[in-house]
Amino acid sequence: MKSLVFDTGPLISLTMNNLLWLIEPLKERFKGSFIIPQSVKAELVDDPLRTKRFKFEAIQILHYIENGVLTVVDDRKYKEQTLKLLNMANSCFSVRGRAITAVHYGEASAVAVAKALHADAIAIDERVTRELIEDPERIGKIMEHKLHTKIAINRGIIKDLKKELKGLNILRSFEMVTIAFELGLLKRYLVRGDEIPNVRKTLLESVLWGVKTDGCAVSEKEIRQVMKLERV
């Protein structure tokens, strides 16, 4: 059965932009399951419900869990694989002999579940985790630039990690809102009047920048490319 496994990032990005409702029509068109591991649910719902600041966001996500749009998977059965991936990811880079924590448990759990279920893709907005799957060598260079120091790269572990994660496809909230735009799901926001001369272009640009500013790792170049391809 088709499945898409979610990390926290894309659901947070969609919620913060009042676009979480998109997951229901997107799931209908996907004709498969939208899955979140229990550890991801804990980050998105259980922990925030004990706070004041993010409680409303947690309630919104819980609504889609209770309605069956998001399916929670008990990831304890994948704990061994999660810990293996976590250890590998956090052993790839070091500074002055000290390993750099690149990935946290929830992210590793989402990757482990996606791999175990042979998911069609995993939805991740966080840059480091995505780069570790797509191009782990590149993340070392990014870390050097950000930390302004030499990063030691364990190429043996990176080679093993690449082999472990081979074939895992990645989707971001960036691609999700672009697909939603192409499907006409955002047409409710096409306002009338002279306030916005090119309303379709402005709408697409606004949602792309919206998810970017709320945590999705996407470059300005990528946004320009999508704007050009969509011909708005």
Q: Are residues 147 and 219 both part of a single domain? A: no
Q: Give the CATH number, domain containing residue 124.
A: 3.40.50.1010
161-210 pLDDT, tens digit per residue, is: 989 898 899 999 999 999 999 999 999 998 776 777 889 999 999 999 99
Per-residue pLDDT reduced to its tens digit, 95-130: 888 888 889 999 999 999 999 999 999 999 998 888
The pLDDT assigned to 193 comes to 66
149 lies in the same domain as 52: yes
Same domain, 50 and 77: yes
Q: Give the structural domain span for 204.
A: 174-230
How many Cβ atoms sit within 10 Å of the Cβ of residue 21? 17
Domain count, the chain: 2
Adjacency order of strands within the sheet including 121-123: 70-73, 33-37, 3-6, 121-123, 170-171
Whether residues 125 and 114 share a domain: the answer is: yes
148, 171, 194 - which closes a domain: 171
* Residue 180 C-alpha from the chain's centroid: 16
pLDDT digits (tens, 9 = 90+) for 126-148: 988 888 888 887 888 888 887 78
In sequence order, what E strands does the chain have? 3-6, 33-37, 70-73, 93-95, 98-99, 121-123, 152-153, 170-171
121 beta partners: 4
Same domain for 56 and 107, yes or no, is: yes
Domain shared by 114 and 190, yes or no: no
Q: Whole-angstrom Cα distance, residue 206 to residue 210?
A: 6
Q: Which residue, of 120, 142, 171, is where some domain finishes?
A: 171
